[in-house]
Amino acid sequence: MKTQTQLTVRYAETDQMGIVHHSNYAIWFEAGRTDFLKNTGVSYAEVEARGVMMPLYELTCRYISPAKYEDEITVITRLKALSRVRIILSYEVVNRKTNTLLAAGETAQAFTDRALKPLNAERAIPEIYAMIKANGGNSDGN
């Protein structure tokens, strides 16, 4: 399963090089992630309301071609690995008009409680965990 999120580059996202500042891709990945979870049937707002946080512990991004103001962007989000303690997602950022790959990256997130202590997501939010596992389309089975 892959999720497609559409967005338009905001002026505030550009920098004086005339392109989107690289820090925004992490935010676009996050928009993709929100939609990815929604597509598996899970609202991340609800996950947090249940006391489960998903802080990042790793981010990587390769910047391949610049995005510019008003560009129409698609973020493609895929599940790379899911276990009881963490979730790894991968992202591709594409210019929708030219179909150019602009960037590609990955995030690794832990499942934690509100105090940011690791927890077992399968135990804490079993039916949500099951939905991501069933609908996310991939898993390393741990």
CB count in 10 Å sphere of residue 15: 12
**By CB under 8 A, residue 92 contacts its own copies:** no
Report, in Å, the least distance between residue 122 CB and its own copies: 21
Residue 15 annotated among the catalytic residues of the structure: yes
Part of the chain binding its own copies (CB under 8 A), chosen from 52-60, 75-83, 90-98, 126-134? 52-60
How many residues of this chain interact with its own copies, rule: CB under 8 A?
39
Compute the distance between CA of residue 58 and CA of residue 48 in angstroms, rounded to an integer.
20
Around 4, how many Cα atoms within 13 Å sit in the side-chain half-sphere? 7
Chosen residue from 41, 50, 51, 58 binding its own copies by CB under 8 A: 58
Instruction: Report whether 66 contacts 20 (CB < 8 A).
Output: yes
Give, in order, the Cα–Cα distances in Å from 55 to each of 94, 100, 112.
Answer: 25, 30, 8
| CB of 105 vs its own copies, minimal distance in Å | 8
Which residues are CB-neighbours of 66 under 8 A, at least 6 positions away?
17, 19, 20, 102
Q: Candidates 55-63, 81-89, 121-129, 131-139 — which segment interacts with its own copies by CB under 8 A?
A: 55-63
Stretch that binds its own copies, among 29-37, 73-81, 89-97, 122-130 (CB under 8 A): 29-37
- Rounded distance between C-alpha atoms, residue 70 and residue 133, angstroms: 36
Q: Which residues bind its own copies (CB under 8 A)?
A: 8, 10-12, 14-19, 21-24, 26-27, 30-31, 34, 43-45, 48, 53, 55-64, 66, 68-70, 116
Residues taking part in catalysis? 15
